[in-house]
Structure 1
Amino acid sequence: MTQALLREIIDYANRANPYPLYEELRKTPVSHDGTGPYVVSTYYEIHSLLHDPRISSDSRNLKATGDDPLGESADDEGTALPPSFLKLDPPDHDRLRRMTNRPFGPPHTPHRVHDMRDELHGLVDGLIDGIATSADLDRVDLVDQFAYPFPVTVICRLLGVPHEDEPRFHVWAETLAASLDPDPDADPAQRGKGTTDARMELGMYLAGLIEERRKNPGDDMLSQLATADGPDGAMTTMEALSTSALLLIAGHETTVNLITNGMLTLLRHPDVLQRLREEPGLSVPIVEELLRYEPPVQLLPQRTTLSDIEVAGVAIPKGASLWLVLASGNRDPKRFENPDRFDPDRKDIQHLGLGSGIHSCFGAPLARQEAQLALSELARRLVNPRLLEDPPPYRQNAVLRGPRHLPIACDGVLPKAA
Structure 2
Amino acid sequence: MSQAMLRKVIDYANRADPYPLYEELRRTPVFHDEDGPYVVSTYHEIQALLHDPRISSDPRNLTLSASDPLGQDEGDESTLPPVFIRLDPPDHDRLRRITNRPFGPPHSPHRVHDMRGELGGIVSGLIDGLVGADSLERIDLVEQFSYPFPVTVICRLLGVPHEDESRFHVWADTLAASLDPDPDVDPGTTSKVAADAQIELGMYLAGLIEERRKNPGEDMLSQLAAVDEEPDGSMSTLEIISTAALLLIAGHETTVNLITNGMLTLLRHPDVLQRLREDPQLSVPIVEELLRYEPPVQLLPRRSALADIEVGGVTIPKGATVSLILASGNRDPKRFENPDRFDPDRKDIQHLGLGSGIHSCFGAPLARLEAQLALSELARRLENPRLLEDPPPYRRNAVLRGPRHLPIACDGIRPA
Which runs of structure 2 are paired with 1:126-205 in the superposition (5 Å)? 126-205=125-204
- 1:75 is displaced (CA, Å) by 4.3
- 1:74 is displaced (CA, Å) by 2.3
Q: Structure 2: which amino acid aligns with 1:106?
A: P
- 1:340 is displaced (CA, Å) by 0.1
- 1:169 is displaced (CA, Å) by 2.4
Q: Structure 2: which amino acid aligns with 1:202?
A: L
Residue 97 of structure 1 is matched in structure 2 by 96
**C-alpha separation between the residues in 1 aligned to 2:276 and 2:105?**
30
User: Does structure 1 residue 404 correspond to structure 2 residue 404?
Assistant: yes
Residue 249 of structure 2 is matched in structure 1 by 249
- 1:52 is displaced (CA, Å) by 0.2
More moved, 330-339 vs 215-224: 215-224
**C-alpha separation between the residues in 2 aligned to 1:246 and 1:289?**
25
- 1:77 is displaced (CA, Å) by 4.7
Residue 223 of structure 1 is matched in structure 2 by 222
**C-alpha separation between the residues in 2 aligned to 1:77 and 1:276?**
45
- Find the residue that maps to 1:303 and give its secondary structure: strand
Residue 360 of structure 1 is matched in structure 2 by 360
- CA change 1:382–1:79 in 2 (3 A) is closer
Which runs of structure 2 are paired with 1:25-36 in the superposition (5 Å)? 25-36=25-36
* 8 Å Cα contact 2:66-2:72 kept in structure 1: no
Q: Deviations 1:147-184 (Å, cap 9, x if unpaired)? A: 10000100111110123222322222112111111111
- Find the residue that maps to 1:304 and give its secondary structure: strand
- Find the residue that maps to 1:144 and give its secondary structure: helix
- 1:318 is displaced (CA, Å) by 0.7
- 1:188 is displaced (CA, Å) by 2.4
- Find the residue that maps to 1:234 and give its secondary structure: coil
Q: Structure 2: which amino acid aligns with 1:69?
A: D
- CA change 1:300–1:309 in 2 (3 A) is same
Residue 392 of structure 2 is matched in structure 1 by 392
Residue 236 of structure 2 is matched in structure 1 by 236
- Unaligned regions of 5+ residues in structure 2, if any? none
Residue 57 of structure 1 is matched in structure 2 by 57
* 8 Å Cα contact 1:47-1:356 kept in structure 2: yes
**C-alpha separation between the residues in 2 aligned to 1:389 and 1:73?**
32
User: Does structure 1 residue 286 correspond to structure 2 residue 286?
Assistant: yes
Residue 120 of structure 2 is matched in structure 1 by 121
Residue 264 of structure 1 is matched in structure 2 by 264
User: Does structure 1 residue 78 correspond to structure 2 residue 77?
Assistant: yes
* 8 Å Cα contact 2:37-2:321 kept in structure 1: yes
* 8 Å Cα contact 2:213-2:226 kept in structure 1: yes
Q: Structure 2: which amino acid aligns with 1:181?
A: D
* 8 Å Cα contact 2:298-2:399 kept in structure 1: yes
**C-alpha separation between the residues in 2 aligned to 1:163 and 1:68?**
44
Residue 111 of structure 2 is matched in structure 1 by 112
The number of aligned residues is 415
* 8 Å Cα contact 2:79-2:199 kept in structure 1: yes
**C-alpha separation between the residues in 2 aligned to 1:377 and 1:75?**
37
* 8 Å Cα contact 1:137-1:412 kept in structure 2: yes
* 8 Å Cα contact 1:78-1:199 kept in structure 2: no
Q: Structure 2: which amino acid aligns with 1:330?
A: N
**C-alpha separation between the residues in 2 aligned to 1:379 and 1:294?**
18
- Find the residue that maps to 2:252 and give its secondary structure: helix
* 8 Å Cα contact 1:85-1:243 kept in structure 2: yes
**C-alpha separation between the residues in 1 aligned to 2:302 and 2:161?**
32
Q: Deviations 1:212-254 (Å, cap 9, x if unpaired)? A: 1111111100011111413211111111111111011211100
* 8 Å Cα contact 2:74-2:179 kept in structure 1: no
**C-alpha separation between the residues in 2 aligned to 1:110 and 1:267?**
35
Misfit runs of 4+, over 3 Å: 66-69
Taking structure 1 as the reference length, the TM-score comes to 0.97
Cα RMSD after superposing both structures = 1.1
- 1:201 is displaced (CA, Å) by 1.3
**C-alpha separation between the residues in 1 aligned to 2:103 and 2:376?**
25
**C-alpha separation between the residues in 1 aligned to 2:343 and 2:293?**
9
Q: Structure 2: which amino acid aligns with 1:159?
A: L
More moved, 188-197 vs 240-249: 188-197
**C-alpha separation between the residues in 2 aligned to 1:90 and 1:341?**
38
Residue 350 of structure 2 is matched in structure 1 by 350
Q: Deviations 1:369-405 (Å, cap 9, x if unpaired)? A: 0000000000000000000000001001010000001
**C-alpha separation between the residues in 1 aligned to 2:196 and 2:39?**
31
- 1:78 is displaced (CA, Å) by 2.2
Q: Deviations 1:73-126 (Å, cap 9, x if unpaired)? A: 424252410100010000000000000000000111000000000101100110
**C-alpha separation between the residues in 2 aligned to 1:79 and 1:63?**
18
* 8 Å Cα contact 1:77-1:199 kept in structure 2: no
Which runs of structure 2 are paired with 1:12-31 in the superposition (5 Å)? 12-31=12-31
- CA change 1:139–1:302 in 2 (3 A) is same
Q: Structure 2: which amino acid aligns with 1:284?
A: V
Taking structure 2 as the reference length, the TM-score comes to 0.98
Q: Structure 2: which amino acid aligns with 1:97?
A: R
- Unaligned regions of 5+ residues in structure 1, if any? none
- Find the residue that maps to 1:289 and give its secondary structure: helix
**C-alpha separation between the residues in 2 aligned to 1:206 and 1:111?**
26
* 8 Å Cα contact 1:77-1:196 kept in structure 2: no
